[in-house]
Structure 1
Amino acid sequence: MRILRTDEARFQSLPDYPFAPHYLDVEPGLRMHFVDEGPVAASPVVMLHGEPSWSYLYRHMIPLVASAGHRVLAPDLIGFGKSDKPASVTDYSYQRHINWLTHWLESLELTNITLVCQNWGSLLGLRLAAEKPHLFQRIIVGNGMLPTGETRIPPVFTMWKAFATHSPWFPVGRIVQLGTERALSRAELAAYEAPFPSPEYKAGARAFPKLVPISPDDPASEPNRAAWKVLEKWRKPFITCFSSGDPITRGGDRYMQRRIPGAYGQPHITLRGGHFLQEDSPEDFARIINDALKSVRAA
């Protein structure tokens, strides 16, 4: 496996991203980057990004949650951000991403975790929570789902998958902008492009759409069905925080509210914004997290 590593100079002076870098090898020679802010002794809040973003997506939320007294960790998935990037699309699989994240989580000895996840962060995070339920205290999902290949795929996803697979042009910054209602600045668009100095660095981003299970016999479908059996008995807090303008995950919040016992009676909310609600409503999203943790302390 040929591994690419983005030069640190590409991440200098990014707007609103002052966080010190942290690194951990998730397998020999493969380095994962993560943000780690707030009191080390506090219960961790793990924020998982999706496609084709990186921890920069949470830049406005991290300080708000950390300043409320919580430890915030935001990893860059392998193939994204400051993490290493295997150079071939075939180097990536759903299970490999699960393995890498599991190694990161267990190496840091994280427990009592509040999971915050969106997009592919949900496909990975919900599986992870179901496979390691003793490590997680609550889950907050924004615009995400855990598919098993048994429900209809929205046409917009089919088009997105074809584009990611076949288009010679893959402009990460513009892709993020298409999923965001507010206009990103040139510097913000450049920050989303920073991890990818050339097309060969984008194999991980191109791979993700093909890894979504869209049929029951997909390699990830059976493990995801097993994860759902755990989630159907999940009684710890499960909060949905979807946006009003996401054509891909629309309705997923109500589906999870009906199916997961821990969602009953929780303060579910719909926020203004597109697919990347971290860009459109970061303060409100962060408030949901802080309120959930505050209610636990009060109890």
Structure 2
Amino acid sequence: MVEAASGARRRSALRMGITKPPAVAFVSRVEAMVGGAPESVDGSANGADRFTHRIVDGVAITQCDPPGTRRAPMLLVHGGCHGAWQWEPWLPWLARSGRTVMAIDWFSHGMSRRLEHDEWVHRGILDVQTEIGVGVDQAPGRPVLIGHSMGGLASLAYAISHPGRIAALVLLSPVVPARFSGAPIEVPVDREGLWPVPPPEIARQLWFETAPEAHLAAIYSRLQPESSQAVWEATRWTTGLAVDALDVPVLVVVGARDQLTPPDVVAGLAEGIGAAFITLDGVGHGVVFDPGWPALCERIDGWLTAVEEPGTES
């Protein structure tokens, strides 16, 4: 009962915190993020030296190549209000396991092509399949597709609609299709404008509750507004997908404290698609930023090893 009451208070705080968006601040933040070299979220001074960057068909791709043995490449898809920068600590870690690791920016995010305002406002989550397709085409082989939050739903949709194009699918705190929906998340959404970056205390509850204190300001400064259509779909669970057509191995991961994609809802998706399933104790929606991310990467790599080499212990 204590945990339930605490969760109710947090949800109430989310509703109250987003009702007065910092409209001017979020527009200037988007403009400030256009172009420029990414800096490392983990504070590494040589972060930019580890990565290569290119733009293909308007899609910005950040890439980290392995020093040795080659395994299936990886393509990482960020969530709403974020960008490829969220994966910067992950890229070299995953590459050391012998994989080329790539992360894309959605259109109007990071360094990718900017959309006209109305197109961006009304762009849905499934439209991100376009950027995913560009990334898949650039990968040196069939990639393992890893998507977080809204990027998880877009990745699931891509796997369903493009059979044979990816080797495996990893969904981190994914937004789920309507078939597996839970109760609506009643955050205010103006359907005719961009959804603004919430105030810092609300953003932390939403995305990086367990991130190290020293990294909070750096993470928050890189958040950006999001398509209101995408936010509506993510919080009202309106997207339909024919998941029975899925034909690749899938791993689903969720934090036990996740308020945006609740564990019971995500567990229903995992069961419905026959996926391996991991719940992370004490972690919220921002599994990418939690200090335990290296251990999560190890579990993902172990699962992939078992999938790639049947009979191998994960």
Matches within 5 A, 1:119-134: 119-134=149-164
Q: CA RMSD in A?
A: 3.4
Deviation at 1:52, TM superposition (A): 1.2
* 2:296 is the counterpart of 1:285: yes
Tell me how far apart the structure 1 counterparts of residues 227 and 212 of structure 2 sit (CA, whole Å): 20
Partner of 2:99: 70
Partner of 2:282: 272
* 2:237 is the counterpart of 1:239: no
Tell me how far apart the structure 2 counterparts of residues 208 and 274 of structure 1 sit (CA, whole Å): 21
Deviation at 1:134, TM superposition (A): 0.4
Matches within 5 A, 1:1-299: 6-9=33-36, 11=38, 15-16=43-44, 17-18=47-48, 19-26=50-57, 31-39=58-66, 42-91=71-120, 92-94=122-124, 95-106=126-137, 108=138, 111-148=141-178, 150=179, 153-155=182-184, 157-159=185-187, 161-162=188-189, 170-171=197-198, 176-179=203-206, 180-185=208-213, 188-194=216-222, 202=225, 204-212=226-234, 214=236, 221=239, 224-226=240-242, 228-231=243-246, 234=247, 236-250=248-262, 251-261=264-274, 263=275, 266=276, 268-280=278-290, 281-296=292-307, 298-299=309-310
Compared CA separation, residues 151 and 191, structure 1 to 2 (3 A): closer
Contact 1:5–1:85, Cα closer than 8 Å, also in 2: no
Contact 1:147–1:212, Cα closer than 8 Å, also in 2: no
- SS of the residue aligned with 1:86? coil
- SS of the residue aligned with 2:102? strand
Q: Percent same amino acid at aligned positions?
A: 15
Tell me how far apart the structure 1 counterparts of residues 305 and 155 of structure 2 sit (CA, whole Å): 22
Deviations 1:14-45 (A, max 9, x none): 6244343422333xxxx221221123954111
Tell me how far apart the structure 1 counterparts of residues 156 and 195 of structure 2 sit (CA, whole Å): 32
Compared CA separation, residues 191 and 260, structure 1 to 2 (3 A): closer
Q: Which runs of 5+ in 1 are unaligned?
A: 197-201
Compared CA separation, residues 135 and 272, structure 1 to 2 (3 A): farther
Aligned pair count reads 270
Indicate the structure whose relative CO is greater, using CA pairs within 8 Å and at least 6 residues apart.
1
Compared CA separation, residues 275 and 115, structure 1 to 2 (3 A): same
Contact 2:74–2:102, Cα closer than 8 Å, also in 1: yes
TM-score by length of 2: 0.72
